[in-house]
Amino acid sequence: MQTLEIKIRGIVQGVGFRPFIHRLVREHALNGSIRNTSSGVTLNLEGEEEQLAAFLRELPEKAPPLAVIEEIHTEETPFQGFSCFQIIDSERQAERNTLISPDIGICPDCLREMSDPKDRRYRFPFINCTNCGPRFTIIEDVPYDRAKTSMKAFPMCPDCDREYHDIENRRYHAQPDCCPVCGPSLQYYDAAGLPAAGDVAALARAALTEGKIVAVKGLGGFHLACRCDDASIAERLRKRKQRDEKPFAVMCRDTETARVICHVSREEERILNGARKPIVLLKKKRQGMEHLSENGRIGVMLPYTPLHHLLFGDGLDMLIMTSANLSDTPIVKDNEAAVEALRGIADGFLMHNRRIQTRCDDSLCWVLDGHEYFARRSRGYVPQPVTVPEQKRQILACGAEQKASFCLGKGEHAFLSQHIGDLKNLETLEHYERQIRHFERLFDIHPQALVCDLHPDYLSTRYAQERAEEEGLPLLQVQHHHAHMAACMADNGLDGRCLGLVWDGTGLGTDGTSWGGELLAGDYQGFERLGSIRPIVLPGGDRAVKEPYRVAFSLLREAGCRTEGIRDAEQLARQTDAGLNCPLSTGMGRLFDGVSAILGIRERCSYEGQAAILLEAAAGEDEGAYPVILEDDGGILRFDWREMIRAIVKEKETGTDTAVSAARFMNTLIEAAALQLEAAAKETGLKRVVLSGGTFQNQVLMHRLPARLEACGLTVYHHRRVSCNDEGLSLGQLRIAAARGEMPLS
């Protein structure tokens, strides 16, 4: 006989962990107890040595799908003579459960039940269990139980109550458990907001089949759905939603259906079918389908709520599913707001009476060379924390602005927010501020210090400054690209000094100019700038971001090439000569934009990053690069792009295929990075390099660059758990602030 104390750290509360342990303990004839702690659960178990060993072996293998076991610590303790197995009630504990599960897509067991005509939840749109269903989006407060979720409006019927209290049942302690007797109900409203009678899901399907646009209430907000096989319907949706060219996501009935339009690798299938159900960017199978996406990829997701499953059938197996919001405002989540805001856009509304407490957009990821990358880490992932080394203080990191996020640190956890959006919208800013308070309450965090970007005009900076002043808290302002670098270090659990290649559109540098093609060396404490690119003049400042032909003009002019072909060339020349609103930028995004315009791919952007995305999509397989010229500018090794621009112009004049030039352009950047990093490694002795910044959403770069750098003897790290774009930035800010000892009061 042996007695063990087993401490399990991770996400093991509210995920069906205790019933699982109960079963496993019984299988191995063990006795003892289990109780929740602030960081997980603690087990005291007694039994035969072999049985205990088997228990420990099976524990991580058989754990419920939502559980995340970070660490199992086992210690032998004196014999206690337990005679049974006991679950010690967590309510009596002083310390609060700190972790909350994300929303999880419907599980295979529930799907089977809802397809079974004999089951009492046959075709029930709110079926869920311990392993699946809404969590984060319905929780109002902690501790997590039904009374503190939007399910409180639906008292359990005796049948559900019995399941809830039966430890043998797969709905044991499933807070949102319900059935057709006691649960929420569906409604269908027409364009005028009048309710329709009948089989509600069938009404929605009929409307969709007829080509109508239907607003569908999901987990974290509304979607606008319509048929995706008809370009004219998609066109109507674009017009009504004022979404000119930005790609639409598609919901496919299953992976089989997704394969009709896209290639789906085994890894992509695993993620599509997994419990978190993000949108996965897949390669289009054939040309066409431009009405869905103008580049080579389509964002595809599978149905993740039982309601979504009811949308398919009667000949429908694929739908456009786009977030219901207007020009960058937050996604619509409330019924009344939906009818109001989507008037004239939606022809029908498929809604229900379970309130969405917290909005949460779909997550967006892709798979490249076997790795999963995020553009947006939101529904299905948030608020699951990223683990970091123990933090002495509780800190709020306020993020950037256009792709805002925040991050709260406590103990060994960093809680990143869901996708928030662009803070320049008043509604988005309010959403941001409310979510910060919501997270602080949920996770019982009282920030003792704040950290934000260096940019004085970011609304996240203003928020941090005001709050620091009001509450008398110290505030640290961190340079944008240093934060990116730190985010990637934290993402990979790195400490100490490294090199950081940070490429993005823009971020304020320590010299007051805009940066974005940077090579840094440093750690969480600080950094030096070792490399960059030759600064680019941006005639018109921010206008140049939306109108890449302005950047093309300035690249051509600096390179000594003819600018006659450029729109407004004369006026741009006058503006540049006068130096009127012509800031300098080393943003890699600008270089992409300018080259995209020179190659005739895109002169103006109707959504962020469009010119760069289309350039990537246009690139062929061609190997080869333009000459790389690096210039030492007082210790900063700058990539001088002028020779490259001249070569591109020459190719264009001689009729070289755009696909060849686009590929060579990216290969040239890879060569430039390799040369810069080789020099930096030699100078500093550092071998580890982290890649961060929004430019690394480019899959051509991410496919080729790491191999090229590893050939130079460098070890390359990329983002794995958070986005490389500004959404992941707050994690870096948090780690930098945590690494500082004392910070000055603001």
157 part of the interface to Zn ion, by CB under 5 A: yes
Q: Would you call 687 helix, strand, or coil by DSSP?
A: coil
Please give the Cα distance from 721 to 689 (Å, whole number). 17
361 part of the interface to Fe ion, by CB under 5 A: no
- Give the binding range for Fe ion (CB under 5 A) out of 312-320, 429-437, 499-507, 577-585: 499-507
Instruction: Please count the other Cβ atoms lying within 10 Å of the Cβ belonging to residue 434.
Output: 12
593 part of the interface to Fe ion, by CB under 5 A: no
66 part of the interface to Zn ion, by CB under 5 A: no
Number of residues that bind Fe ion (CB under 5 A): 3
Phi, psi of 373 (to 5 degrees): -120, 145
- Give the binding range for Fe ion (CB under 5 A) out of 95-103, 156-164, 574-582, 719-727: 719-727
Please give the Cα distance from 316 to 208 (Å, whole number). 8
Query: Tokens representing 352?
Result: 């229900």
Q: Return the closest-CA partner of residue 20 out of 77, 75, 61.
A: 61
179 part of the interface to Zn ion, by CB under 5 A: yes
**Residue 504 C-beta: closest distance to Fe ion, Å:** 4
**Residue 146 C-beta: closest distance to Zn ion, Å:** 12
Residue 127 binds what, of Zn ion, Fe ion, none (CB under 5 to 8 Å, by partner type)? none
Q: Return the closest-CA partner of residue 651 out of 639, 663, 640.
A: 663
* Closer by beta carbon to Fe ion, 175 or else 514: 514
* Closer by beta carbon to Zn ion, 162 or else 270: 162
Contact 106, 310 (CB under 8 A): no
- Name which position in 59, 138, 160, 672 contacts Zn ion (CB under 5 A): 160
726 part of the interface to Fe ion, by CB under 5 A: yes
727 part of the interface to Fe ion, by CB under 5 A: no
DSSP state of 652: H
Q: What is the DSSP string of 277-321?
A: --EEEEEBSSS--TTT-SSSEEEEE---SHHHHHH-BTTB-EEEE
> Using CA of residue 522, residue 527, residue 529, residue 535, what is the dihedral sign?
positive
- Give the binding range for Zn ion (CB under 5 A) out of 173-181, 401-409, 502-510, 668-676: 173-181
- Name which position in 46, 504, 616, 671 contacts Fe ion (CB under 5 A): 504
- Give the binding range for Fe ion (CB under 5 A) out of 289-297, 320-328, 498-506, 533-541: 498-506
Q: Which helix (H) or strand (E) holds 629?
A: strand 629-633
* Closer by beta carbon to Zn ion, 182 or else 573: 182
- Within 180-209, which residues bind Zn ion (CB under 5 A)? 181-182
Residue 504 binds what, of Zn ion, Fe ion, none (CB under 5 to 8 Å, by partner type)? Fe ion
* Closer by beta carbon to Fe ion, 241 or else 484: 484
The owner of tokens 């921010």 is 542
Residue 69 binds what, of Zn ion, Fe ion, none (CB under 5 to 8 Å, by partner type)? none
107 part of the interface to Zn ion, by CB under 5 A: yes
* Closer by beta carbon to Zn ion, 102 or else 583: 102
**Residue 358 C-beta: closest distance to Zn ion, Å:** 21
559 part of the interface to Zn ion, by CB under 5 A: no
Residue nearest to Fe ion (CB): 504
* Closer by beta carbon to Fe ion, 32 or else 507: 507
Per-position b or e across 209-241, b if 16+ CB within 10 A of its CB = eeebbbbbbbbbbbbbbbbbeeeebbebbbebb
Q: Which regions of 142-220 does DSSP assign to beta strands (E)?
A: 186-190, 195-196, 214-217
Per CB under 5 A, residues contacting Fe ion are 504, 507, 726
